[in-house]
Amino acid sequence: MVFNTGAALLDAIVLAAVSREAEGTYGYKITLDVREALEVSESTLYPVLRRLLKDGCLESYDREFGGRNRRYYKITEAGRAQLNLYTSEWLIYSKKITGFFTPLIE
């Protein structure tokens, strides 16, 4: 993609991906989900997950899987509120940007 992805957009996409699963989801699955929208590496996403944990938007827990512990991430109420804010802001922003390009497409 030729457009840069800012931290807020990446946070929003990660929160949206995590919110899809009521019981939470694990890092690699989050990477796969985010890649539906953006090309990102796991090394890019783990600092985002740590920041969202620190900010109280996510909580984490470990669950045994295949003889090892797997870290799961779950959205918190604060995270859901932040995701709602991101969603409403995105709808406004994307409508404005689309308005610039629509005459060129028609």
Q: What is the pLDDT of residues 65-104, one digit of tens each?
A: 888 999 999 999 999 999 999 999 999 999 999 998 887 7
Selected from 3.30.70.3270, 1.10.10.10, 3.40.50.2300, 3.40.50.720, the CATH number assigned to the domain covering 7-105 reads 1.10.10.10
Asked which of 5-9, 25-29, 33-37 is least confident by mean pLDDT, the reply is: 5-9
Contact 84, 77 (CB under 8 A): no
Q: Domain spans of the chain?
A: 7-105
> Where residue 48 falls among pLDDT bands split at 50, 70, 90?
very high
Q: Which token pair is 13?
A: 């996409």
Rounded distance, CA 17 to CA 35, Å? 10
> Where residue 1 falls among pLDDT bands split at 50, 70, 90?
low
